[in-house]
Amino acid sequence: MNKNISVSLLITTYNSPKFLDLVFRSILKQTVQPDEIVIGDDGSKEDTKELIDSYREKFSCKLKHVWQEDDGFQRCRILNKAIAAVSSDYILQLDGDVMLHPQFIEDHLSVVQEKQFVCGNRCFVLKSKTEKLVAGPSDIGLNLFNIKKRKRFFRIPALSPLYRNKRNNTSRKGNVGCHMAYWKKDMVAINGYNEDFVGWGYEDIEMVERLMNSGVKKTTLLMMALQYHLWHPKSSRAFSAKNKSMYYDCKNNKLAHCPKGIDQYL
């Protein structure tokens, strides 16, 4: 394990305090605690702030709440603001609708390398179990029968290296915005997320494409750093076609920088 770097959990959220509560509960169970937790809040109401405030004394690390006005799906903008607020060297990026295996942070710290970007994976909590967790989350334990994509449920670190070179030459495969890890300095170098992306779709893989074009190596992480994605309805795909076109512009032109990014907040 690399103990010489500081690490922040960056969690995006929007009007889902009950989900965020489950994320927080799973963080409290971590074998290694983060140096900092930064919440990137895309315009949630007061109940989310109240939840965050209620956890400030429960965590041993600093808890930051970066909020912006609700202006539709502006995930890239809030991510840039949150990344700019991070004071640690290394960032583990999550969405506010996941739970973490107790060794999630420990596993990530064991594979940290310079000029490397990590794409993790997730399994999916069934709707029925998600509803029970939201209704009364006193016990956040999960078992194989609560899960879809059951092969992703198993933590077997000895086997993880066998899968680490899978899909590493493409920005499109193996990337999920709810489970990424990167150096803050590498994100600043490419100007973070591209805020021309508005609405759901392709913003994460466009960012990954620019990271790879800048010389950062991509690696995938399976059978370690397990993450459990809570069930919820899918987001609107209304902007998907436009965002897809911008992604291919980046890919075809081998771009490593975007004009409208994190430099506005640094």
CATH code of the domain containing 24: 3.90.550.10
Counted domains in the chain: 1
Name the CA radius of gyration of the chain, rounded.
17
Task: Report the SS3 class of residue 237.
Answer: coil
Task: Tell me, yes or no, whether 134 lies in a domain.
Answer: yes
Task: Tell me, yes or no, whether 231 lies in a domain.
Answer: yes
Range of the domain at 223: 7-264
Task: Tell me, yes or no, whether 1 lies in a domain.
Answer: no
How many beta carbons lie within 10 A of that of residue 181, not counting itself? 24
CA-closest candidate to residue 126, choices 105, 101, 102, 153? 153
Task: Tell me, yes or no, whether 2 lies in a domain.
Answer: no
Task: Tell me, yes or no, whether 174 lies in a domain.
Answer: yes
**What b/e readout covers 183-194, taking b as 16+ CB neighbours within 10 angstroms?**
bbebbebbbbbb
Q: According to the model, what pLDDT value does residue 3 have?
A: 60
Task: Tell me, yes or no, whether 23 lies in a domain.
Answer: yes
Task: Tell me, yes or no, whether 117 lies in a domain.
Answer: yes
Task: Tell me, yes or no, whether 213 lies in a domain.
Answer: yes
- Tell if the pTM clears 0.75, that is, is over it: yes
Q: According to the model, what pLDDT value does residue 232 have?
A: 87
Alpha carbon distance 77, 88 (integer Å):
20
Name residues whose C-beta falls within 8 Å of residue 252's C-beta, 6 or more positions apart in sequence: none
Using alpha carbons only, what angle is made at residue 75 by residues 134 and 167, rounded to the nearest 5 degrees?
90
The series of mean pLDDT values per 10 residues for the chain, 266 residues long, is 83 96 96 98 98 97 97 94 98 96 96 94 92 82 82 86 73 77 98 94 93 94 93 76 93 96 97
